Amino acid sequence: MTRLFNNPAAFADEALEGFAAAHRRLVRRVPGGVVRATATAPGQVAVVVGGGSGHYPAFSGLVGQGLAHGAAVGNVFASPSAQQVHQVARAAQSGGGVLLAFGNYAGDVLHFGQAAERLTAEGVPCATLAVTDDVSSAAAGESEKRRGVAGDLAVFKTAAAAAEAGLPLAEVVRLARLANARTRSFGIAFSGCTLPGADAPLFTVPAGRMAVGLGIHGEPGLAERPVPSADEAAELLVSTLLHELPEGVESPRGQRAGVILNGLGSVKYEELFVVYRQVARLLAEAGVETVDPEVGELVTSFDMAGVSLTLFWLTDELEPLWTAPAEAPAYRKGTVVPVAAAEPSTTGEAPEAADPDPVENTAVPEASEPSRAAARTALAALGAIEATVRAHADELGRIDAVAGDGDHGIGMRRGSEAAHAAGRRALERGAGAGTLLHHAADAWADRAGGTSGALWGVILRALGTALGDTERPDAHAVSVGVDAAADGVMRLGKAETGDKTMVDALVPFADALSDAVGGGAPLAAAWDTAATAADAAAAATAGLLPRLGRARPHAEKSLGTPDAGAVSLALIVRAVHGALSGATAKPTPGSTAQPPSTAKKG
């Protein structure tokens, strides 16, 4: 378990601060992550990688000559926000365009995609690549649904070496995609990992058993088997990967492959070497020639006891990129040609010149007194949201951990705290209701990261747009804003009712609010009716199987447990009712104001 921490919600930030201080010769801190401390040739493509914290040395430890130019670092097991990715990319780029590379997870796809759109609009050529190497997370025919695990390293290394060689953005992207298509990974674990501040691991494995096909965010395995010997583990890993060869490869015999035997957090190096000795033998027997194998901790999951094997099937153009020299805090190969330290002006703004708060210096438009009065109610609602999320953060994390990664409570807490603080600052500057909610939306999305951060940013922004800064909002305006929020969430998250997501509570809430307002109910009463509908809908998600997100490969495990995003939405809209009615909300019978048990039914 993670024993050394202060505030769990600050763990990722404090870890990044200490990392940058320890490796100042190689990296420097910028808002959102780190970039190289060494100079980059003008016109070189910048490879910016990233993802959630908890996977060191991915992602910050892979920044340096011959490897990434920058890394955007999110909260524990949560993607960095679009703002973070944008800031790191701006600091890392040197005129040749940017490739954003990340694991294939919903939050990363959302945020890196939004950052790419923003960079392109600013005139910075940009491309994205989601790594999809984990064979256990989807069938071969649905490889685009696979998640990125330790194969990240092979793809990042290929792209960075191609950029270091001076190739243009289109060629860097082509080679990175080729590397991704020729990389396969598979993992096993003997225990789950424990998040900072948590008192139990995200999943457990019975004594004498191991989980097969686990994820690096603490997602449980897809099956269990008896604990093998080291040689038996090697045989399982190798045989699984040799069963699925890249397109165009008929047989492993005569092939050359980069090999990564990766420790997931608490398997000792000596154990890895015992396993690798048999991996090497089995690959040799199959006729595979290994090239520059890597054995060690390269993509971890806090203290998870497990290992994964990656095979990177090389071609004549990929092999020189895999073997090219690199020097990063956690990865060294060959000898790089020393270069001078970077001047801040050559890689973007210096940390102190960049604005870590995306809304702090945003102009506040003039607002009417009725709208400023509504802004005070909106701020009270944000305060109620923060208090509710804080009270239930641990339970939200436990619900999320049943078939996901357990980060929902931490992310919601960071987001709601940031939104409340941003709203308070906006109100102090005379903001109306619309501007206050826009500031809160940006702060929530930036601070929380992850899928939920992006979606709650959409919700608050849609409400702010509907309320505006000139009129006193009425029930109809609020209902219009909630409808727009539901539409925005479904459009951005690509979820529908029945997918077992936040949408399953948000749509019934929006529909019930619209019906009640259309029937003439005042806002507080209409909201109360809609919150009750959200309560019931969130509880009903216990009977659904997930069709999207990290829980999808573990669908059966989630049956009997409600969706964490739906539960948190129900909690929040119930808390907001208290602010709207001017009194502390009292839970209605059956309300999820006390989150449902995570115990499975049946």
Task: Report, as residue numbers or ranges, the catalytic residues.
Answer: 217
Identify whether the C-beta of residue 70 lies closer than 8 Å to the C-beta of residue 89. yes
DSSP codes of every residue in 126-141: EEEEEE--BTTSS-GG
Strands (E), 84-227: 98-103, 126-131, 183-191, 209-212, 223-226
- Using an 8 Å Cβ cutoff, are 440 and 420 in contact? yes
98 phi and psi angles, rounded to 5 deg: -135, 135
Taking phi over 0 as left and psi of -120 to 50 as alpha, with beta for the rest, 457 belongs to alpha
452 close to 493: Cβ distance less than 8 angstroms: no
Q: CB count, 10 Å around CB of 242? A: 16
- Specify the pairing of strand 126-131 against strand 98-103: parallel
CB of 407 closer than 8 Å to CB of 401: no
Distance (Å, whole) CA 40 – CA 95: 10
Residue 389 in contact with residue 534, Cβ under 8 Å? no
User: Half-sphere exposure of 435 toward its Cβ, with a 13 Å CA cutoff?
Assistant: 25
Nearest to 318 by CA among 462, 174, 148: 174
* Bridge partners (DSSP) listed for residue 310: 185, 260
What gap in Å lies between CA 445 and CA 428, rounded to an integer? 21
Compute the half-sphere exposure of residue 143: CA atoms within 13 Å on the CB side of its CA: 18
d(CA 388, CA 64): 42
The CA distances from residue 601 to 172, 345, 559, 595, in Å, are 50, 59, 8, 15
CB 575 within 8 A of CB 385: yes
Residues 455 and 467: their CA atoms lie apart, in Å, by: 19
Q: What distance in Å separates the CA atoms of residue 160 and residue 540, rounded to the nearest whole number? A: 47
Distance in angstroms (rounded) separating the CA atoms of residues 146 and 134: 6
Q: How far apart are the C-alpha atoms of 396 and 410, rounded to whole Å?
A: 9
Query: CA–CA separation, 417 vs 419, rounded Å?
Result: 6
Residue in this structure with the two tokens 């709601």, named with its chain if needed = 416
Give whole-number Cα distances, 63 to 22, 127, 177, 279, 477, in Å. 14, 19, 20, 29, 48
Rounded Cα gap, residues 339 and 164, in angstroms? 13
Distance CA 319, CA 246 (A): 16
